[in-house]
Amino acid sequence: MKKSTGLTVGFLLSVMMSSAAIAENKDETLCTHLQQTGALSVAACSDPSLKMAALHYIQARYALEAQDSAKNHTAVAKQLAENDAILRHDCALPPVNPTAAPLSEQEKTCYIDVRQRQTTALSHSLREPYTQEITRSIALHTALQQKLIDGGYLYRSPPIADGIYDHDTRNAIKKWQAAYGDDKTGVITNDEIPHLQKLGLITFGTERANRRSDVSFISFPQPLVSSGKGPALTRIFQMDMLEIDRGYLERITGPAKYIGERSDKLTTLTYMVDDCEVTAYAAGDTIKGYNLHVTPNCTIPLGGNTSDNHPILSLADMTLGEFNTIFQGNNQPIGLCFAGACGNSIDASMGIVSYGAHYNDEVNFSATAANQDMDNDKAIAAEEQWTAAMIGPDDSDAKRDYVEEGKFNCDGKYDEAGIRAMKNVPIQYFFFGRMEPDISLELNAPPSPACTK
């Protein structure tokens, strides 16, 4: 992690001048928020240059409060009050009220100059990672905050970011960090930005083929299924491809390469689609779910349709931690055959299961990784880290039995440790369907009764 240098007035000025104008609806949201921070900000909200100066100052203020509130809240509050008094005195600002006259050009120039100097002074009191945060542009501040809103971590009415990292935003960052497996600091580090930027895949109220499929935490970009166009993988991994007849599926895939029977009476049908391995799970001739073996060449896009503003992401570029933050259902990390519990017959696997609710047709999702397929050591290291958290340094028989005798954290006691361990593990298998997405699906092993919901 790189250290950030101290801010200068020149840097702040360049950031202000380079920041794009906030759209009208964001103006309204920002002004409403500024009005909640004090009368001086009410005056600033009437002018774009004053508004930008006030916004930078308030960002630094909230960063300092977040950093020092636990031990030095009184001193911070005193410093902020003194800053306001200095601003009023040095600029000879008149009393501010709803009927007050706009500031003169001289008063505006003074306001900007004093607020810049005060922002710089506040920033010099910040430590890592807050110094990383305060040096970002307003545009990036706002974009990251909008990701938290779009991802369902931050509630705003209207759902529009304003660039102010208040207490609600800090709590939203902590919720996202907990879901991804990072420390709940409430401040976004430079290393976390790429992962947060992958949020924003929410889709509500989508209607497809007379079936309601308003999955609140994911959407698949729709190919032209009805016309038979688009990549075959993308055509298969659609919500309206569930509950279809096997014959209809095989018009796209061709005949199955392998056919097997599971202990739960489901038939596994393995197809090679564009040289990619896809497994369908059928009850009789009705398809209940799909599983994709993910590789750089065998992936599907996730995100919105091409007509919306949501990003289109490749499943092959996502980690298990990112999956956990995007699929906001009833999520659970799960592991199979940890600590050699299954002997040499089955390799250890881990993943995130997102159990669907009634409002999304009870469609379940999972992303998993199996150690025997790894080209690197990330999955093995994650297994060891999570196992160590469950067993502990004493490696007691009781704790080892907890891991080895079929529980594998199915009671959720070590969920946070599991998410933290696997947050950077690449996804190797992706499943969705109306059936139990037990991690053993990926290995065609009998489902673990301890994990049955």
- Cβ–Cβ < 8 Å for 130, 61: no
Residues 213, 93, single domain; the answer is no
Q: Which of 175, 196, 217 is the last residue of a domain?
A: 196
441 burial level (CB within 10 Å; 0-12, 13-18, 19+):
buried
- Quote the pLDDT of residue 450: 46
CA distance 449 to 421: 24
User: What letter would DSSP give residue 231?
Assistant: -
In this prediction the pTM is 0.79
In a domain, 4, yes or no: no
CA distance 387 to 402: 10
* CA 174 to chain CA mean position, Å: 11
Unique residue bearing structure tokens 């935490």: 217
- Cβ–Cβ < 8 Å for 289, 243: no
Number of domains in the chain: 2
Q: Which of 196, 221, 248 is the last residue of a domain?
A: 196
Residues 386, 331, single domain; the answer is yes
In a domain, 324, yes or no: yes
> What are the tokens at 160?
């529009």
Q: Which of 196, 224, 248 is the last residue of a domain?
A: 196
Short-list 440, 423, 416, CA closest to 338:
440
CA distance 267 to 186: 46
- Cβ–Cβ < 8 Å for 347, 372: yes
- Torsion, Cα 138 144 149 153, to 10 degrees, reads -130
CA distance 293 to 331: 21
- Quote the pLDDT of residue 92: 84
> What are the tokens at 162?
């304003």
- Cβ–Cβ < 8 Å for 365, 354: yes
Residues 431, 331, single domain; the answer is yes
- Quote the pLDDT of residue 97: 53
CA distance 120 to 88: 18
* Residues in the chain where the model's pLDDT stays below 70: 1-44, 70-72, 94-101, 200-230, 303-311, 329, 339-346, 357-361, 371-376, 394-395, 404-407, 410, 437-453
Instruction: With residue 151 as reference, give the H or E element that holds it.
Output: none
Range of the domain at 161: 9-196
- Cβ–Cβ < 8 Å for 336, 439: yes
CA distance 89 to 45: 20
- Quote the pLDDT of residue 282: 94
CA distance 9 to 12: 5
Residues 190, 225, single domain; the answer is no
Residues 170, 228, single domain; the answer is no
> What are the tokens at 244?
């279809």
CA distance 360 to 356: 6
Residues 331, 385, single domain; the answer is yes
**pLDDT, tens only, 153-202:** 998 888 889 888 989 999 999 999 999 999 999 999 999 999 998 886 64
In a domain, 1, yes or no: no
Unique residue bearing structure tokens 């992962």: 195
Residues 292, 186, single domain; the answer is no
Short-list 311, 420, 443, 307, CA closest to 366:
443
In a domain, 104, yes or no: yes
3-state secondary structure of 345: coil
In a domain, 286, yes or no: yes
In a domain, 65, yes or no: yes
In a domain, 420, yes or no: yes
**CA atoms lying within 13 Å on the CB side of residue 145:** 26
Using CA atoms, how far residue 369 sits from 262, 296, 305, in Å, is 20, 14, 28
Residues 226, 359, single domain; the answer is yes
- Quote the pLDDT of residue 451: 54
